[in-house]
Amino acid sequence: MQSVNSIKSTYIKELLNNGVRSGRGFFEYRNISVVRDIIPNAEGSAQVDLGSTKVLVGVKLDIDEPMPDKPNEGNIITSAELLPLASADFDIGPPSPEAIELARVVDRGIRAANVIDTGSLFIEEGKVWSVFIDIYIMNYDGNLFDASTLASVAALTNTRMPKYEDGNVIREGKLGKLKVNNIVTSCTYAKVGKSIMLDPDGDEESVMDARLTIANDETYIRAMQKGLSGSFKEHEVNELIETSFEKSKDLRAIINKLNSD
């Protein structure tokens, strides 16, 4: 007798391979909402709800030493935590491979697109600001990459810049904003059999053969990450790159609207 999970997986695959997706088109995002400034003691914060997936990002700045090869630039340190409350599959303990990959993909997109002006984080010789981007998964229902990138950029674009005066860090009062150069977003695709879809939910991720995340700004592809053992054909990748540039317009519009409000 087949298990419930096996029956469900077979059913999902059959639907997708017959061109049927639950409630949306194959290149359509679920509903997206973004709320900023929800962690009072953080310099910046944002929560993104992507369908039922919920991601919370907090940004903190602290005094640090520069990297030896970049003595006049600040640091960016990104971490991700898959909280057990988000999914029964997430455990307490050291960062899982999935959490490490998530943090690296978000970090790579932000760095490659020069979202943060790291030169503006220089204080004095041997002293810079480090920007800590902490990603917390509050509920998992697929596509953590896009939700985490969007939440991170939303938080960064509204991060308060502490002052450093006479050896003291001042976090209150009239503060400026962290200097942000660019906006990067990511689009993640799942491949199930011959079917490819944007923004896979949890059920779709459970049966996907391959995953591709494309991070881009308005002009350039900034990073790509493939996951799992399946493959994408060259023409499929080229088509997904074009789709990403189109879909990223809507994602950037969300950030731009937040910044204009």
The dihedral built from the CA positions of residue 220, 200, 96 and 35, taken in this order, carries a sign that is: positive
CB 34 within 8 A of CB 154: yes
Give the residue extent of every domain in the chain: 25-260
| pLDDT of amino acid 225 | 98
**Amino acid present at 245:** F
Cα distance between residue 110 and residue 24, in whole Å: 29
Enter the pTM of the model.
0.95
What is the CB neighbour count within 10 angstroms for residue 6? 10
Which class does domain 25-260 fall in?
A: alpha beta
Question: Which string of DSSP letters, residue by residue, matches 54-72?
Answer: EEEEEEEEEEEPPBTTBTT
Percentages (nearest 5) of helix, strand, coil residues in the chain = 30, 35, 35
**Nearest CA among 29, 47, 81 for reference residue 188:** 29
Read off the tokens for 79: 């971490």
User: Which segments of the chain have a pLDDT < 50?
Assistant: 1-2, 4
Predicted local distance difference test score (pLDDT) of residue 78 = 99
Q: Which residue has the tokens 């997109």?
A: 109
- β 44-50/122-124 pair status: unpaired
pLDDT at 1 (0 to 100): 33
CA distance 22 to 97: 29
Q: What is the pLDDT of residue 2?
A: 43
Q: Which two tokens stand for residue 28?
A: 């359509």
Q: What element of type H or E holds 214? A: strand 210-216
Q: What angle do CA 78, 226, 54 make, to 5 degrees?
A: 50
pLDDT digits (tens, 9 = 90+) for 67-108: 999 999 999 999 999 999 999 999 988 999 999 999 999 999
